[in-house]
A and B are shown apart, each in its own frame.
Chain A
Amino acid sequence: MKKIFLFLSLVLWLSAGTVFAADDEFVFEEDPFAEAEPASIADPLEPVNRGFFWFNDKLYVYLLKPVARGLRVIPEPARVSVSNFFSNLGTPVRVANNLFQLKIANTGSELARLLLNSTFGLAGLFDPASSWGLEKKEEDLGQTFGHYGAGTGFYLVLPVFGPSSLRDGIGRIGDYFIDPLPHALKQEELIGLSALDQENALSLDKDTYEGIRKHEIDPYLFVRDAYAQHREAKVKE
């Protein structure tokens, strides 16, 4: 396992420069606010990815979303609190990755948030730290790899979990080991909790995916490129 991990990391670093297809060298006109040229993400597994995308789409439409819609009978503030609670539980992973990237101020801020929100925020149900100027600093292992120069590798659609990449997929596995929660809970408890977390988050979401599904001529491509852009921006943050 360790060897495979090392090998994959090596491949990622070596491929960082090459997997991005050189984009058309087209300069519109000087534009100070132009977003950086999107690095189009390589997608050698497209047929397989499309398969999983189709599967996830059906899972979302016929199971996950109906359940989330059911959750909407619970008043929104309660669901926001549940979301805060899970976000607070996710602190260790954010602390570790802020630290890995030597973002010391952010690491401190995450620790302070954990302390404040776990106490004054009643075990994380509320997020008073945000209103005191301590915003959440989202970092994960995929971003840490990216921070140190790893390329995304290629696009992956994971069954159930959705859009990812080779780099971010490996990051997910790593984060799972960093997170103390999986060590403290039984497997089925963990699955139940994360299902609740995801369903709750879906209930708060403003039907983003429905909009994409409905308006885009190829939702698969749209989601893939949005994912690539979004992650790249996250890495640069």
Chain B
Amino acid sequence: MLFLKRFLGLFTGVVLLASTAAVAAPGPLDQARATVDAVMAILKESNLEKQVRRERLSATIRARFDFAEMSQRILALHWKNASDQQRDRFVALFSDLLERNYIGRIESYTNEKIDFVKERVQGNRAAVDTLIMTKSAEIPISYRMVQKGAEWMVYDVVIESVSFVNNYRSSYGEILKNEGFDGLLARMSEKLADLEKNGNNGKPTEP
């Protein structure tokens, strides 16, 4: 009997522990907010060395974005037909490009208020709707996320109803059609080299 009691005690203890852990794990909205806040904080730190800043931004974003899933969605059928090498190369190039792109976009809004409006969760997928409140307009940005363990990872960013994934799917699809997979990879690395050369820190250069 004592054994049973102990066992039950242990059992409820474990269950309690598990459920508090589940309650404590932040939902997609909180996780997205933490990342956006962290990015903003780094962008606002003016005395950071450029290289350090880039690395920190990169680490913060990569911890929240699922570039492999994004790449699969963008390439769709082309992903299936690509070799492992091509896939890895694409994910590497694309994550670099998107990272810079995202930093560049979000950087223009460092002085604006970002409202985390709501999260919608269905199974292991979630949409987190945010609003950037500029003085003249409100810009809706929605993050699409997928749950991987305790983490919610972004696989698409939808700005004013324009989905990054869909946009790249169409425009890269056209390049794939005309120039093939290696052609696309070549153009992507060319673009990256170009951005590197022009001392890219996310800011659009003046022409």
A positions within 8 Å CB-CB of B = 24, 26, 28, 31-35, 37-38, 40, 61-62, 65, 76-77, 79-80, 83, 204, 206-207, 210-211, 213-218, 221-222, 224-226, 228-230, 233-234
Contacts and interface: CB of A to CB of B under 8 A. Distances in A.
B162 A206 contact: no
Contacts of A65: 207
A217 B175 contact: yes
Nearest to A39: B170
B77 interface: yes
Nearest to B72: A28
Contacts, number: 108
B122 A230 contact: no
B56 interface: no
Contact of B125 (A24, A31, A76): A31
B97 A215 contact: yes
A34 B136 CA distance: 29
A33 B127 contact: yes
A215 B192 CA distance: 9
B156 to A, nearest CB: 8
B69 to A, nearest CB: 9
Contacts of B191: 215-217
A226 B162 contact: yes
Given A76-B135, A225-B171, A214 B195 contact: yes
Contacts of B135: 76-77, 80, 204
Give me the 3 closest cross-chain CB pairs, A-B, nearest first: A233-B161, A210-B204, A221-B171
Interface of B: 72-73, 76-77, 97, 100-101, 104-105, 108-109, 120, 122-123, 125-127, 134-137, 144, 156, 158, 160-163, 165-167, 169-171, 173-175, 187-188, 190-191, 195, 204-207
Contact of B126 (A33, A215, A233): A33
Given A204-B136, A222-B171, A215 B76 contact: no
B175 A206 contact: no
Contact of A221 (B104, B125, B163, B174): B174
B160 A230 contact: yes
A35 B166 contact: yes
Question: Which of A32, A80, A228 has the most chain B CB atoms closer than 10 A to its own CB?
Answer: A32
A24 B76 contact: yes
Nearest to A213: B204
A225 B170 contact: yes
A23 to B, nearest CB: 9
Nearest to A221: B171
A62 to B, nearest CB: 8
A218 B175 contact: yes
Question: Which of A38, A80, A228, A230 has the most chain B CB atoms closer than 10 A to its own CB?
Answer: A38
B38 to A, nearest CB: 21
10 contacts: A33-B125, A35-B158, A38-B163, A38-B166, A83-B136, A204-B134, A215-B195, A221-B171, A225-B170, A230-B162
A32 B125 contact: yes
Contacts of B136: 76, 79-80, 83, 204
A215 B101 contact: yes
Contacts of A40: 170, 173
Contacts of B171: 216, 218, 221-222, 224-225
B128 to A, nearest CB: 10
A221 B175 contact: yes
Contacts of A228: 170
A80 B76 CA distance: 42
A79 to B, nearest CB: 8
Given A76-B135, A80-B136, A211-B204, A32 B123 contact: yes
Contacts of A32: 122-123, 125
Contacts of A211: 101, 104-105, 108, 204
A215 to B, nearest CB: 4
Contacts of B73: 28
Contacts of B175: 217-218, 221
B120 A33 contact: yes
B104 A214 contact: yes
